[in-house]
Each structure stands twice: as C-alpha cells, then as structure tokens.
Structure 1
Amino acid sequence: MLTILLILIPLVAGLLTFFLGGSNAKIIALAGALAELATAVFAWTQFDPAAGAQFGFQYDWITASGISFAASVDGISMLLVLLTTFLVPLIVLSAFGHNYQNPATFFALILFMESALVGVFTTTDAFLFYFFFEVALIPVYFLAAVWGGENRLKVTFKFFVYTIFGSLFMLVALVYLYYQTPGTHSSAITAFYDLQLTPAAQGWLFWAFFIAFAIKMPLFPFHTWQPDTYTESPTPATMLLAGIMLKMGVYGLIRILLPITPLALNQWGAVAIVLSVIGIVYGSIIAIQQRDMKRLVAYSSFAHVGLMAAGVFSTTLNGMQGALIQMLAHGINVVGMFFIIDIIFSRTNTRYLDHLGGITQKTPSLSVYFMIMLLGSVALPLTSGFVGEFLLLAGVFEYNNWLGAAAGLTIILGAVYLLRMFQKSMFGATSVNTEHFQELTLSERAVLIPLTIMVFWIGIYPSTFLEMTEPTVNQLLRFIHN
C-alpha cells in the first residue's frame, strides 16, 4: 500500500491546494510535499534491496484487455522516488520569494506533476507507464506556458510537439508488444521481457523507444527544444524539468528499452552511444559560449545527460550504476544551480554574465553555496558528481577506449564553463546591478542547506545509494546479456 500512497498523496495535496489554497496555497503545497517526503523516507527504511519489488499493488483497470493499475518499488524505483520526493519540497519552497499570479494553480500543478513522476518510476504495467509518462508533461507545459517568459508560447508549443511526437513512437511499440504476448494478452512490463522477438522486430522497437526517451532527456540530435524551454520557463518549472523529468528518459532506457530489445543492442547500441558522446562534447562547447547563466546551465545539463545515456548503453555494471547515482547527483546539483541563478536574477534583474560581478563582496555565503554546487557539477572528489562520473567513464571505457576518452572531455570542458561563470558573476568589481545585492533570506537558506548536505552525502557515502540499486541492476544485466 505504500506505493499507492506515494502516488496519491501529492495528487490529493494538489487538489487541496487548488480548491482551498488561496493566499495559503504555498503553505498547503509545502505541507503536502513534506508528507510525501516523509512517506518515501518511511518506505526507504522498510525497503530491502535484496528482496526485489516491494510494497506492490495491482487492481484491474481495463479488465477485458488485461491492463492493470499495478505498481511496486525495487532498488531503481526507490532511488528515483527518493530523488523526486526530496526535490519537490525544495522546489515549492524556492518559489516562496516570488508572487506568482494564481498561486493555487501554480503550486497545485507542481504537486500533480510529482504524482505523475512517482507513477512513472513505480508502475509495472506498460500502458500505465505510458499514461504517467504523458500526464507528467501536462503540468509542466502549463507552468511554462502561463508563468514563463516573453517567448513562452512559441517555446512551449515546440516542447509539446517534440514530446508528443516521440511518445507516439512508444505507443505504437507498446501496442505491438501487447499483441505479441500469448493468450488473452498482457501489458505487464515483465511479460514484454519474456517475449522471444526476432532481431528485425527488436531493431525497429529499439528506435521507437529510443526516439521517445531521447527526446525526453534529451539526447543529440533531439535536444533543440531544451535550451529555450529551460530558459523561458519559470525557475520551479525548470527545476522540475532538469532535476526530475529528464530522468524519466534515462529510466525508460533502463526499464523498457534495454531489457525488451537486447538483441538490437548488438546492431544499434554503438550508434546510440556515439550520439550520446557527441551530445557530451557538443553541449559542453555550446555552454562555453553562453552569456545567459540559465542557458549555460541548460546546455550543461544536456551534456551531463549524454554521459548518463552513454553509461546505460555500455550495459556494464559500472555504467548502469554510474547512470543511477549520477541521476541522483545531477538532480541535486542542477536544482541548486538553477536556484542560485534565480536568486541572482531576483536581485539584479539580469542573468547575463557581462552585467554581473563582485557578488562575493555583498554576500559571501551565496558564494560558498554556489561553489559547492559548482564543484559537485564538475565532479570534484568527495562531492556528489565524482562518484557518478567516475563509474560512468569506467563503464564507457570498458565498452570502448576511444569513446571513453571522448566522454572524459566532459570533466575538462565542464570546469571551463562553470568556473568561468562563477568568476564572472561572483568575483571582480561590482556592477551597477550588483552594488546593492542583498544577503540570503531564511527561506533561501532552507533550500540551499539540504542540497549542500546531499552534495557531500552522495560524495562521501555513495554506498548508501549504490547498495540500494545494485541487486536490481545485476538482475537486469543478467537478463540483457543472456
């Protein structure tokens, strides 16, 4: 029953926020998000990594078609549920300093999206996975389209078209797989694992799923919606997109694509990993050229997700474990970076590096938090990013030395654009925009302190999370390689 609670709590909290919120919307939303976090932490304390899927439920949904409302939690799901439920309260709290129009709707949409995200990470039915995968798009679309920047309508329309287009490929693939199951047919994801599909069938299924998930992450060359959407969206929506939503694509690769199409990896896996590595280098080079801080971090996120995908397609234990721990670390780091950029913008009304400088002189504490998040992003040892990037690069090197060397450029190039951003915004003489920069507020510190703790927790005690996922990853790898 814990799994159904994890899906329902943010949904109910979102409805309460929408109908009863008014001027107290943000308080109700924060309370609901914290209740969801408490439930997830309780589930974590009861979770046994070696016991497989737990806390499951199954109810007939479309009985005649064998489609069930079914979900459970294994090691991979538990990690991503913890990431989601940890970040959403901080995202809600990060919005306390802004006066958004119609706050009840704004905060309710965040909670509705949390419910859909948890559904994606826990469902064990393929069509229910597709349902949640699409439903998660709706709240963030309205967050960006209603509360975004000047070009929000054009940008969000492009985002919507891209993601719906990709999802149609996935739907066709799922319908095909459903009709391949014996007897009365089943839409259970594990039933799709057991199908004996021909190499030709697996080949086109591979690309159908790959396109759907590559757009969501995004991967090169399906990424063109991402920088504009991240830049134009209000910061809480950007945090949801970068911190959690892109993880749905990586999760889909691990949970759906690889186990269903293992034979296709022999033919197309190399192409997918090359595209991933191209994205790493391309995204990093474009990030170096950016002057808008938010756009810079958007391209940084694009580069990082390319490395995650490369690790997944290496189908090695190091690569898969690295992708999972990096999903957690990236979520923490990127939410922290976008929030710090939002703090700077709220005080200076600009995100352009040429218009900033000298912020350290006004608020040294912000410089400390900024540097911690930055070092986590560039994979300094003992910070969150190091463990994931080390395992990811080890996995890609194990797959191919040359691809591993190319992927390793992410560390060098990442240090270039992130340290440059820090130097231009925080050091030097103050500008007309930063000379009256104010110190951090209590609510801002309340967001940054938990993020900082997690940066060091993941970096110093990664076994907390690696031991959670390893049994499930080993089981998947045995299935893929058999």
Structure 2
Amino acid sequence: FMAFAMAGTFLAGDGLLYYIFWELALIPIYFIALIWGGGNTEERKKAVVKFFIYTFAGSLFMLVAFIYLYQKQYSFFYTTLYNLRLTSTEQNWIFAAFFLAYAIKIPIIPFHTWQANVYQKAPAAGTMLLSGIMLKMAIYSIIRWQLPIAPIPAIQYQYIIVGLCIAGVIYGSVLALKQDSLKKLLAYSSLAHVGLIAAGVYTMTLDGLRGAMLQMIAHGFVVVGLFFASEIISRRFNTDTIREMGGIRIQAPKFTSMFMILVLASVALPGTFNFVGEFEVLYSLAQTNIWLVVIGGTTIILGAFYMLRMFQQVMLGEQNAKVFADINFSEGLVMVLIIGVLLFFGLYPKPIVDFISPELERTLIYIKQI
C-alpha cells in the first residue's frame, strides 16, 4: 500500500490525483511506525501523531492552492497549470502553500522537529521508506509542481530559501555529532544531506536540478543501506546505543567491509554515486553565490567527521563481550546490490543523466518564462 501510494505520487500528472496519492502515503507509514515501531509505546505514539499532524496540516495548504489554480482554468493537469498567467501576488500565495507542505516533508528547518524521533521509533522498514523514498516525494514535487507554477517568488526569495536549506545542512551535521543513538545519528545525517539537495533545487539551474535528482537517487540507496546495516547491528547487540557497541570488525570482517563502503559513499567519496550528485549541487551553488558553496561545502567536512567517528566507535576497538555473527546470505545479498548500484553509477552516471536531462530542460523553460 505504501509503495502504491508513493508510486502514484511520482507518476500523477493530474494535480488532484497527485494530492490524493500524496495523502494516501501518510496512512500506511502512520500504522507501520505506530504498531511495529520500537521504544516506549507512549513516546512512540506522541512522535507518530506529531508527524501525522504536521504533514497533514501542511498538505491542506497545498490542497487549497490546487483548488484555487483549478478555478483559473478548470484543469488539474500539470502543463495547463504551468501555462497559467498568475500575478506576482497570486504566485506568492501559491508558492507559500506548496512550500509549507514540502518543507515539512523534506524537512527544512524550522519544520524538522518531527523527524529524528519518528526515525528512531519507526521499525527499520518504516525508516527506510521515510528516508529513502518518502522525503524524495517532496523534493521531486518542488521540481514538478512548485517552481514551474510559481517561479517569481522562488527567484525573489531565493537566497532566503537556499539559506534555510544550508542552515539545515550545518544544523543536521552538528546534531549528528552529538548523538549516542545510531538511528538518530543517521536521521540527522539525512537531514543534512536533504538540506543540500533542496538547496540545489532552489538554485533553479540545470546543474542544480540535475544534481539534486542524481543525489536524491544516490541518497535513497545509501541511506537505506545504512539503516539496514544499523538494524543488523541493533538486532545482534539488542541495543541502538553507540557507546555499547564496538569490536564488530574482529567478529564480522565481511559486514565491516560492506558497512565501510556505505559510510564512504555517504560522505561522497569520488567514485561513489553520491559524489556525482553532490558535486553538481555544489557547482550550482557556486554559480549562484560563492559563499553558498563555501558554507554548503561544510557538509563534506562535517559529514566525514561524524560518519568516520561513528564507524570507529561502532565497528572498531577490542572485541565486544556480546557475540556478533557475520552477515548471512540474504543480508549480504541486499548489501551487495545496494553497494553495486552506488559504485556502478558513481563511475558511470551517464544513463541516468541522459534520461533526466531533457525533461529538466523543459521544466526550466517554464521556470524561466517570467
């Protein structure tokens, strides 16, 4: 049901259908996190209800925007909405309504307060769906719906919006440094990465949009791999606390090697898929303002620091008193497939670049037609 709703969100060309699928995706993830999540039941309920209310409330503003647009042309189809001649004031309100829905879902600070707790409380499958695909619905929607329909405010307030996104990069990285929970560390790491992706989208350049699309796909694979690995560790050690881990390398060399590749991909090591998208996003920020890339580039330094420190604390050191069995065939197969994608497209991203570039160029024509 979750996959059905998310696929519908990405495939819908009709605004009303898109909104229905967008909201449908909330229902299964609510129950996945509520029923099968971990930790204290009351805390889990609070976290999941907060997430539901936040995202549902933000989406209602988007529905109002769609209703208003429908009255202009009596069509919800995206190309019809692109061709509407809206005044600057109308675009401001439409942009704000869409931005609220997407900023909560991504999330962009200060709309992020639901994220870390839900990521921690949700089961592994729920966290993978949230971080790997669900937040990409919002970034994709900025390109598909928000920017082509309301480009004027996106240009007028570009520095403010990109500034918020980059603030999320630094904020997420700093918080990740302070975490003792493996899942929370990965949640704040995800917040930092998606902040940079959103900043790339709002540069409204071909490099920014293409880099964001590539980084969305790459981040989807690497974050699912990291949460999958964290679930393996948590189940073996029966804890999510980093300080209670360590010494895994001695007992599980195969798992350690695979986890190391995922960590290096996460920090955008050249040769991995994440490097391709992150480089293009940073290049687009440099085209907009050199200071944006200087500040945004701190994600590479901070990311390398907290991810490698986490690897050291979790995987290295003396053998832990708890027994850690090396990965079995099914776990290894999942890890190898994810790593294979990250390395293949890191060395040869051309198939995806050729596939997405023509549509992004067409979208940019609508964004620049003011």
Q: TM-score, normalised by structure 2?
A: 0.98
- Could you say what the CA RMSD is over the residues aligned between the two structures, in angstroms? 0.8
Q: Are residue 419 (structure 1) and residue 311 (structure 2) matched?
A: no
Map of 1:174 onto structure 2: 66
Percent of counterpart pairs with the same letter?
Answer: 47
Residue 220 of structure 1 is matched in structure 2 by 109
Residue by residue over 1:127-156, the C-alpha shift from the partner in whole angstroms, topping out at 9 and shown as x without a partner, is 000000000111111000001122221110
Out of 369, 387, 398, the residue aligned to residue 287 of structure 2 is: 398
Q: Does 1:236 align with 2:128?
A: no
Q: How does 1:209-288 map to 2 (within 5 A)?
A: 209-288=98-177
Q: Deviations over 1:414-463 (max 9, x none)?
A: 00110000000111112333xx1111111111211100100101200111
SS of 2:84's partner is coil
Task: Give the Cα separation in 2 of the matches to 1:175 and 1:336.
Answer: 39
Paired residues of 1:354 and 1:424 also in contact (CA < 8 A):
yes
How far, CA to CA, are the matches of 2:205 and 2:308 in structure 1? 32
Deviation at 1:274, TM superposition (A): 0.8
Aligned to 1:306: 195
- Counting only pairs closer than 5 Å after superposition, residues 369-388 of structure 1 correspond to structure 2 as 369-388=258-277
> What's 1:35 paired with?
none
Q: Structure 1: which amino acid aligns with 2:347?
A: I
Alignment match, 1:430: 319
Instruction: Confirm or deny that 1:327 pairs with 2:219.
Output: no
Indicate yes or no: 2:22 matched with 1:130.
no
- Asked if 1:190 corresponds to 2:79, the answer is yes
Please state if 1:464 is matched with 2:356.
Answer: no
1:444 matched to 2:331? The reply is: yes
Separation of aligned partners in 1, 2:159 and 2:93:
15
Which residue in the other structure is 1:357 paired with? 246
1:161 corresponds in structure 2 to 53
Q: Deviations over 1:185-242 (max 9, x none)?
A: 1111111101000001101111110010111111111111000000000000000000
Q: Distance in 2 between matches of 1:129 and 1:232?
A: 28
Aligned equivalents of 1:219 and 1:428: distance in 2? 36
Partner secondary structure for residue 187 of structure 1: coil
Determine the C-alpha separation between the residues in 1 that align with 2:81 and 2:366. Answer: 12
Deviations 1:348-367 (A, max 9, x none): 01121211111000000011
Please give the alpha-carbon distance, in whole angstroms, between the structure 2 residues aligned to 1:189 and 1:197.
Answer: 15
Structure 1 residue corresponding to 2:93, chosen from 191, 204, 225: 204
Alpha-carbon deviations, 1:96-127, whole Å to 9, x = none? Answer: xxxxxxxxxxxxxxxx1101111111111000
What one-letter code is carried by the residue in structure 2 that aligns with 1:302?
A: L
Which digits, 9 at most, give the CA deviation of each residue in 1:134-181, with x for residues without a partner? 001111110000011222211100000000010011011111111111
- Superposed displacement of residue 266, structure 1: 2.5
SS of residue matched to 1:284: helix
| Cα distance in 2, alignment partners of residues 250 and 405 from structure 1 | 23
Give the equivalent residue in structure 2 for 1:77.
Answer: none
Larger radius of gyration: 1
- List gaps (5 residues or longer) in structure 2: none
Partner of 1:141: 30
The superposition leaves residues 331-390 of structure 1 with CA deviations (integer Å, 9 ceiling, x where unpaired) of 000000000000001110112121111100000001111011111110000011100100
Deviations 1:392-412 (A, max 9, x none): 000111111111111000000
Q: Is the 8 A contact 1:321 1:391 kept in 2?
A: yes
- Give the conservation status (yes or no) of the 8 Å contact 1:203–1:268: no
Residue 345 of structure 1 pairs with residue 231 of structure 2 = no
User: Aligned with 1:381: secondary structure?
Assistant: coil
Q: 1:224-274 deviations in whole A, cap 9, x for unaligned?
A: 100000000000000000000000010111001100001112322221111
Say whether residues 1:408 and 2:300 are aligned partners: no
2:108 & 2:283 partners in 1: Cα distance? 21
SS in 2 for 1:379: coil
* Distance of 1:307 and 1:450 partners within structure 2: 26
2:344 counterpart letter in structure 1? W
Distance 1:246 1:268 in 2: 23
Aligned positions of 1:35-114 closer than 5 A: 112-114=1-3
Q: Aligned partner of 1:410: which letter?
A: T
TM-score, scaled to structure 1: 0.75
1:479 maps onto 2:366 in alignment = yes
Q: Distance in 1 between matches of 2:194 and 2:300?
A: 13
